[in-house]
Chains A and B, each alone.
Chain A
Amino acid sequence: MLSSFSRLILFIFLSKSNLYAQTLSIVTEEDHEHKGCVQLENLPTDSFQKEGLQVFLFPQNPDNPVPPIVGKSTIENNSLYFCPLIPFSKNLTYQARFPNVPYFTFKPVPKKDYTLTTLRELYPTIEELPENLLKMYLHFSAPMSDGNGYQYLHLENEKGEKITAPFLELTPLLWNEDRTRLTLWFDPGRVKRELLRNQKLGAPLEEGKSYTLHISKNWKDANGYSLANDFTKKISVVKADRIAPNPNNWQVEPPKANTKDAVIIHFGESLDHALAANSLVLYNKKGKKVAGNSQLQNDDKTWIFTPLNNWQSKPYRIQIDSKLEDLAGNNLNRLFDTNLEKQTTPKRDLPYYYLDFRVE
């Protein structure tokens, strides 16, 4: 955004006897240490250097003047720089002031040829989802703005009516580090049985019904630009999933020895996209990690691991982190909400589970 600031230049002649040509401008060079800062060039005297350069929002309300913008002034090579703490916004006008120099008003110019951000993928990708669905992941093509994103998404039923408060609106939002992936939770107080919110409002999704999740393109990315498109996701609700994932029920398709064919694991259901991508690790008989690449396919129902080197005619072991969850937040150790009265399987507390196969 800042690279497209027009280089605004103002020549100021201080007096007839003082022909220092002072230039006020915004630094636009990509590799400049002070990119995006206001620069006052050709400082004439030491006394000038003691004065600060101040920048204000413009226009000011004379009845309610606002203080100068927070930033840092530095002097380098006969130039005085003012770098704002927050980059100047393309939607606002600013005024730089320096003693004995006419005010300098500027407005950053929006970037040309800006590639708008898109919502690349939404997980789970499958349309049929359990009534007690807990999470969704929204993957964006570029970093998004840090603020209240919930206002840009809503859930509608078949009649086009908005569902009230289906999501837990957390502050801060559950972004990844650079805000390209958002984790969206259905309100766990409504999903969990017997909690008041569940009793009073019911689960956000009801079995047998269909919904559409709408995501508005008005949602801004980190540079303040709206998304390229609106996004919708159809949801058909099926029976609640109250069975913990069990690796003993997974199907393994072992590869052939002396090949680099993939080993394929069929989970038999879609698992949590983020956790499934990261919870399985393959070891050889000596307990050494097998080098290779893994990926999820088939709506996160299948894990495919392709080794870098040929398989040997030996046993192998897949270690599965017990934190791996299905779409309803049930993990390998426990269900999302455990009915203590009807508990049939003992609660476990294992860090890992294992799945063995042999390559022939």
Chain B
Amino acid sequence: MKKINTLILAFVALLATNLIANDGTSPLTANFIMGNPEVQSMNAISFGPEGILFVGDSKSAMVTAIDTKDKVAAEAPKEIKMAKVDEQIAALLGTTAAEITIQDMAVNPISKMIYFAVHHSNGTPVLLKTDGETIQHVPLTEVSHSKMEINNPIDAEKKDRRGNSMRVSAISDLNYFEGKVMVSGLSNEEFASTFRSIPFPFKSEQMQASLEIYHAAHGKYETHAPIKAFLPVNIAGKANLVAAYTCTPLVVFPMESLRPGEHTTGQTVAELGNWNVPLDIIQMEKEGKSYLLMANSSRAVMKISVDQVANFHDSLTEKVAERSGTAGVDFINLPFVNVQQLDKLSDSHFIMLQRRSNGDLDLYTQNNRWL
């Protein structure tokens, strides 16, 4: 009986979805509600399909999907050059550049609008966007949205005397890939990797999987560490996860090997050098060749050939002769240092938020002649 009920429910749900879809509403946003999603922090933002923006909110341990309605297709501007973006944002918020931090930047692949997640020093999160000319506030007081709680890895909830949670999983990166929102998080207590894959549209909490992934260093030590930045990448026709760890190995995992509750060891394909925290990874293509571009806290933007990653079959099993203080697959340093944010603007252009040598934080485009 239960089975029959389930079937009927599933049929009704399918029918409802189709009806809504026929009504002009996308099935992706069918379960969205209007209102204020009460986002408390914006640590990572990324676009999915149809102008849906995913916001990783560490403070409330949520991923929020926002229908930006920003889905009129547009060509990317040929060139963007915006000087002192932090000062422009600060003026718009009535404060100084020292009081704000740009947490993340994401390009809407449809409209090519560039979105910024910004925090004021008092913790207030603000969403802004720019077309490369002017910066606008994106209010979230009345938006169509859907929320998903990120399960706490340890159930014992610890609160301080003000009733605030002490344990936080700080979201380090977030990406949408083939119907799933993937989220990497850093615990502020145990030294652990939390990597979640949450089916979208959000359904039930049970669907999300917390994955334990390790990496091997020179075949001698196996360690785990939190992932700082990651990107789903197709390598030789198969979906892979390229992850940059906080201790800087670049590790590749076949997506199909990532299963909840299983110990998965990825292939370390490179180590990325000293004094560095990986910040952003994007994928660009040129003349049928695919490249990864990676922004770093203390090193230049790196270019890595996806073909080389695909052909790198030996995990770093031996100490590799020093190559610019790094090891593994080759990568080329592009002449862009102190790039804080990086995203793909179009097939031929990428956009960077860079702290220039004169101290200014500028937003500007580069084209694929660097690839």
Contact = CB atoms under 8 A, between A and B. Distances in A.
Interface in B244-263: 246-249, 263
B236 interface: no
Interface stretch (B74-82, B105-113, B118-126, B200-208): B118-126
B160 interface: yes
A126 B135 CA distance: 50
A190 to B, nearest CB: 8
Contacts of A220: 121
Q: Identify whether the interface residues of A are mostly helix, strand, loop, or mixed.
A: loop
Nearest to B128: A70
A138 B190 CA distance: 15
Contact of B123 (A57, A179, A194, A336): A179
Interface string A322-334: 0101000101000
Interface stretch (B9-17, B23-31, B269-277, B281-289): B269-277
Contact of B96 (A89, A148, A200, A281): A89
B191 A329 contact: yes
B129 interface: no
A177 B59 contact: yes
Interface in A180-195: 180-181, 183, 185, 187-189, 192-195
Interface in B170-195: 170, 172, 186, 188-192
Interface string A311-353: 0000000000101010001010000111111000000010000
Contacts of B319: 194, 199
B272 to A, nearest CB: 8
Interface string A239-264: 00000000000000000000000000
Contacts of B249: 195
A89 B124 CA distance: 14
Nearest to A139: B160
Contacts of B134: 67
Contacts of A340: 216, 219-222
Interface in B138-184: 141, 153-154, 156, 158, 160, 162, 164-168, 170, 172
Given A172-B43, A174-B186, A197-B271, 9 more contacts: A69-B91, A148-B101, A174-B168, A180-B164, A197-B274, A274-B158, A336-B191, A337-B217, A339-B220
Interface of B: 41, 43, 58-59, 88, 91-96, 98-101, 103, 119-124, 126, 134, 137, 141, 153-154, 156, 158, 160, 162, 164-168, 170, 172, 186, 188-192, 216-223, 225, 228, 246-249, 263, 271, 273-275, 277, 279, 297-298, 319, 325-327
